[in-house]
Amino acid sequence: MIDHNHYVPILKGRQGEYEALQAMSPEVKQGLTPIIEIPPVPWNYLHGRPAKTIDVHLARVGNALESSWGRERPLFIDLLWNAAERMGSGRHPVVHVSDIARARALQIVPVTGLGRDNDYQLACRESVGLDRRGLCLRLQREDFEDLRQLDDQIVALLSNVRVSVEETDLVLDLRAVCIGEEPALLGQVPALVAELPYVRNWRSLTLAGTAFPEDLMGIPPLGQAFVRRVEWALWRSLFASSKIPRLPAFGDYAIAHIQPSEVDPRLMRPSASIRYATERDWLVIKARNLRDYGYGQFRDVSARLLARPEYRGEDFSWGTGTSRRVLIARSARETLQPGER
């Protein structure tokens, strides 16, 4: 059951995110339900065309979902970045991924939004009708410009997909939020949640968003910075509001921006960095670019993290333990004699 103690991270369906989910213990997994965004088909910048077909792009998604999340718990799948694609057979990608999941007995719930076209909604209807696990409806801030219209739009969408409010998980996704927006949003978000249509009747309710930057260009090489977790502050502020008839679950984009990173690899110069959550901020520790200075820099940024007072110890999470193991591995190599390496 998703209540206000639950966590709903919005994750890009890429190798790092899948590995992080796989590393979680069953006990931790019980407290969260991820929204997996399937990334768009990558682009071949050299030849100016898609790097692969949608069929090839989705060929391993079933194995990735099963190995990282398993069959025991539900998860949300969003194909918004592939909405215009069609499989070689002509099928919609939502139908294709739902069929793959069904064959593997995975408990996926399709995600849609008010701005998706009718083909997308009909594909969700097919999935909902066959799997009987309901729907996830992801609303954005611009959807709330006219609350009377929003009510009608929600009714029309749920009628089209043939699912009830009680069978629908509602995600209020603020998407990218800026630090400068925090004072205004602290006043607006409680009223926004309070005025949601059918606020008490949704199967679950989640407030999500992120203040994580699109890139780390603003942090100099070998530098570090704190990035305020505005989305976390907004969610916590709801506990002090008397206007809220229902406390939502918390969701964010983990250590990523809302947009999938799609950059010409010939121009990319990514830096070695660690992104670490503290009570109020993201601590970002940065080294130099990987192309010129190599991956060995992760040992140095790990050492810098371990020396900081914000570090919670190697048993706090798989990620903090990894930083500790990276540093131990470096120390072991440095103490070995040349013939022992």
User: Is the same domain home to 20 and 129?
Assistant: yes
What per-residue confidence (pLDDT) applies to 41? 94
Whole-model pTM over 0.75? yes
Q: Is residue 4 part of a domain?
A: no
Positive or negative: CA dihedral 107, 210, 279, 327: positive
Residue 250 belongs to some domain of the structure? yes
d(CA 169, CA 333): 50
Task: Work out the end-to-end distance of the chain between its first and last CA atoms, rounded to an integer number of angstroms.
Answer: 51
Say if residue 115 is in the same domain as residue 213.
yes
Q: pLDDT value at position 323?
A: 54
Residues 211 and 332 placed together within one structural domain of the fold? no
State whether 209 and 336 are in the same domain.
no
Asked if 248 and 166 sit in the same domain, the reply is: yes
Q: pLDDT value at position 204?
A: 98
Q: Are residues 166 and 193 in the same domain?
A: yes
Containing structural domain, residue 310: 269-341
72 shares a domain with 35: yes
Q: Is residue 113 part of a domain?
A: yes
In this structure, the answer to whether residues 172 and 229 fall within a common structural domain is yes
Is 162 within the bounds of a domain? Answer: yes
254 and 308 part of one domain: no
The pLDDT value given to residue 329: 46
Q: Are residues 66 and 210 in the same domain?
A: yes
The CA-based dihedral angle spanning residues 194, 206, 177, 306, taken in that order and rounded to the nearest 10 degrees: 140
Number of domains in the chain: 2
Q: Of 215, 239, 260, which residue sits at a domain end?
A: 260
Q: What is the pLDDT of residue 145?
A: 83
- Is residue 2 in a domain? no
3-state helix, strand, coil in the chain (%, to 5): 40, 20, 40
Going from the C-alpha of 157 to that of each of 62, 127, 141, 162, the distances in angstroms are 27, 15, 17, 8
DSSP SS3 for 101: helix
How would you write the pLDDT of the chain (341 residues) with one tens digit per residue?
Answer: 799 999 999 999 999 999 999 999 999 999 999 999 999 999 888 888 888 999 999 999 999 999 999 999 999 999 999 999 999 999 999 999 999 999 999 999 999 999 999 999 999 999 999 999 999 999 998 898 887 899 999 999 999 999 999 999 999 999 999 888 999 999 899 988 988 999 999 999 999 999 999 888 889 999 999 999 999 999 999 988 877 899 999 999 999 989 887 766 666 778 899 999 999 999 999 999 888 889 999 999 999 999 999 998 887 877 776 655 555 544 444 433 433 33
14 shares its domain with 85: yes
CA 163 to chain centre: 25
Give me the CATH number covering residue 156: 3.20.20.70
In a domain, 1, yes or no: no
Task: Answer yes or no: do 169 and 291 share one domain.
Answer: no
The residue among 260, 295, 313 that closes a domain is 260
Q: Where does a domain end: 220, 241, 260?
A: 260
Q: Hey, which residues does 226 pair with through a beta bridge?
A: 283
Is 165 domain-assigned? yes
Contact at 8 Å (CB) between 109 and 169? yes
Could you give the CA distance from residue 289 to residue 15 in angstroms, rounded to a whole number?
Answer: 21
Whether 5 is covered by a domain: the verdict is no
